[in-house]
Structure 1
Amino acid sequence: MTENTIITIGRQFGSGGHEIGNMLAQRLNIPLYDKNLIHMAAQEIGISNEAAENLNETVLGRFLSAYVVNLGDYTTFMSGEDTEPLSDRMYRVQTELVKKLADRSSCVIVGRCADYILGDYSSCIHVFIHAFKEDRIRRISRIYKLTEKQAWDKIKRTDRERKLYYEAHTGRDWGSIESHQILFNASLMGVEGIVDALEAIYRSKEKGV
């Protein structure tokens, strides 16, 4: 089992979790894995990045992909008891990738149920980022150029998909303290404050403190 230090980040949409992961990885000079894990899995399976992203973090894909898989310019229908739904195959391949990457080097992994997948790894730091509703709306409105109502609708939809995806694959409550070691409120601590805290925890763990 790896002795590398792995930081996994779960996050509410609009909380700044991805920004925190990116900033932390840069500061620690270690790899960041997020959406690129989807693309890596897509390449291994042999589907487009777009098709893979359509399956990402939505339980609906678990059902739809059992019947139809879009591959380029044509559609392949899946049938038979031994056929593995594409979304299940994507999750399985991503699981294998997460473990291989964790064994390769210390890193930051955003999403992908990484806290659950690496649950037996003693050298992991599992965190979940949340924030106040108003701050999340402001962030998403700014990033995606949306009205407040549009931003909130997008937040609710994305959070619902992430929750369903996480709980379907792990059997745990998404965003709960029982599922993660540390919960951070980005509205109270700020993005840099959380990065500072995680950097300190990481460096202490690396020193064996």
Structure 2
Amino acid sequence: MSKNVIITIGRQFGSGGREIGSMLAERLNLPLYDKNLVELAAEKLDISEDTADSVDETALSGFLSTYAYAPGTIMPYVGRVDYLEPINDKMFYAQAGIIRELAKKGPAIFIGRCADYVLDGKAECLNVFICADKADRIKRTMELFDLTEKKAADKVKKMDRERRYYYETYTGKDWGSVGSHDLVLNVSRLGMERAAKDLELIYKGMIED
């Protein structure tokens, strides 16, 4: 009898983790949740999608931009000082709730957003981390965003730093380590197609076990 298994994919920037998730979703006929989680969280929080996107998978936003209310907003007087919850935290908890609800509906693939941690103990998961050699990630970023090598290298460094801090801030675990994931795959060694194919075989073995 087939079991419901969730696939979570963490990834270094420029490694192709999102593309591997898309290939895997097509191979396995599973729903894929990535940027669409931003739209769902924005709707839940009643904020603009642009605002939600600006703090998605980051805990490093500037002081003023991390609050749900714009500077100068007059808050209702309640007789005491209220400390506003950073919108980064609001986004994390909103997406976490959405991920748990979606996971209850059946098998799916979740990209990033600490989904492995969010679903720990609440669903059977295959937790994967996708990495690649830095030179390959810079080259891929140059091609995808039409950047110079220097700007691509800076973007890779910045995005990796933000994703690491985001993951470790909310989970207390090491981002990208074998201790935090079931599988760590280097796409520079395997290639995207091979990585997707291997994950497909592993997943099928899990649901039929």
Structure 1 length as normaliser, TM-score? 0.90
Helix, strand or coil: the match of 2:61? helix
Q: Which amino acid aligns with 2:92?
A: Y
Residue identity (%): 48
For the residue of structure 2 that corresponds to 1:61, the secondary structure is coil
Report if aligned partners of 2:68, 2:86 keep a CA contact under 8 Å in 1. no
> Structure 1 pair 77/93, CA: closer, same or farther in 2 (3 Å)?
farther
Aligned positions, number: 203
Number of the residue aligned with 1:37: 37
Residue 8 of structure 1: SS of its match in structure 2?
A: strand
> What one-letter code is carried by the residue in structure 1 that aligns with 2:34?
D
1:37 to 1:67, Cα distance in 2 relative to 1, 3 A: closer
After superposing on structure 2, the runs of 4+ consecutive aligned residues of structure 1 that deviate more than 3 Å are 61-70, 74-83
Deviation at 1:151, TM superposition (A): 0.6
Q: Deviations over 1:131-161 (max 9, x none)?
A: 0111111111111011111111000000000
Which aligned pairs between 1:176-191 and structure 2 lie closer than 5 A? 176-191=177-192
Structure 1 letter corresponding to 2:206:
K
Corresponding residue of 2:16:
16
Task: Please give the secondary structure, in 2, of the residue aligned with 1:151.
Answer: helix
Q: Deviations over 1:168-200 (max 9, x none)?
A: 101111111111111000000000111011100
Residue 138 of structure 1 is matched in structure 2 by: 139
1:4: which partner in 2? 4
> Residue in 1 aligned with 2:207?
206
What stretches of structure 1 of length at least 5 have no aligned partner?
none
- TM-score, scaled relative to structure 2: 0.90
Cα distance, 1:47–1:199 mapped onto 2, change above 3 Å: same
- Could you tell me which residue of structure 2 aligns to residue 99 of structure 1? 100
Distance 1:4 1:106, change over 3 A: same
Check the 8 A contact 1:129/1:185 in 2, yes or no.
yes
Contact kept in structure 1, 2:6 and 2:108, CA below 8 Å: yes
CA distance in 2, matches of 1:28, 1:163: 29
1:61 to partner: Cα distance: 3.4
Distance 1:92 1:82, change over 3 A: same
SS of corresponding position for 2:47: coil
Distance 1:13 1:55 in 2: 16
- Which segment is superposed worse, 13-22 or 112-121? 112-121
Could you give the per-residue CA deviations for residues 106-154 of structure 1, whole angstroms, max 9, x where no partner exists? 0110000001111114520001010011111111111101111111100
Deviation at residue 39 of structure 1 after TM alignment: 1.1
Map of 1:55 onto structure 2: 55
1:51-100 CA distance string (max 9 Å, x none)? 00111122123854554635xxx974679436432221111111110101
**Structure number with higher strand proportion:** 1
Instruction: Please give the residue correspondences for 1:28-177 in structure 2 after superposition, counting only pairs within 5 Å.
Output: 28-61=28-61, 63-65=63-65, 67=67, 69-70=69-70, 76=73, 80-81=81-82, 83-121=84-122, 123-177=124-178
CA distance in 1, matches of 2:50, 2:5: 31
Cα contact 1:38–1:94 (8 A) shared by 2: yes
